[in-house]
């Protein structure tokens, strides 16, 4: 059963639109992460958070932004979507050094 939820699962939208990808977890995990997964399957960390009001940029530069106002919620926002943002986005959470739990992802297509 999923303890971490991502919505929407699929999104097709036009260039220039503002997009928010939602991620929520019910496990009380302190750390949350956003990954971009390319067609070759490699994962790229774009944002992470150590807890409420903490956000950090990951290894891959991204035009997206994140917020962590509540422990369970870690939304990702694109202010103006472009075709280069087309990808799969995975959200994950963990507690301390324990294994991550992943959502099922959002597949985003920008026309």
Binding site for other proteins (CB under 8 A): 6, 31, 40-43, 45, 48, 90, 92, 94, 96-97, 99-105
Is 2 or 17 the residue whose CB approaches other proteins more closely?
2
Closer Cβ to other proteins, 31 or 68, answer by number: 31
Q: At its nearest, how many Å lie between other proteins and the CB of residue 49?
A: 11
Q: Which is nearer to other proteins, 57 or 73 (CB)?
A: 57
Buried b (16+ CB within 10 A) or exposed e, 38-74: eeeeebbbbbbbeeeeebeeeeeebebebebeebbeb
Q: Report the nearest approach of other proteins to the CB of residue 23 (Å).
A: 11
R_g of the chain, CA atoms, integer Å: 13
């Amino acid at each position: 059963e999923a303890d971490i939820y991502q919505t929407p699962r699929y999104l097709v939208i036009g260039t220039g639109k503002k997009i928010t990808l939602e991620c929520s977890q019910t496990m009380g995990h302190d750390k949350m992460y956003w990954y971009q997964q390319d067609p070759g399957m490699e994962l790229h960390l774009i944002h992470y958070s150590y807890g409420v009001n903490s956000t950090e940029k990951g290894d891959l530069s991204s035009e997206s932004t994140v917020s962590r106002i509540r422990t369970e919620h870690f939304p990702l926002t694109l202010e103006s979507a472009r075709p280069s943002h087309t990808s799969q986005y995975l959200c994950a959470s963990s507690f301390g050094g324990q294994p991550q739990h992943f959502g099922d992802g959002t597949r985003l297509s920008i026309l």
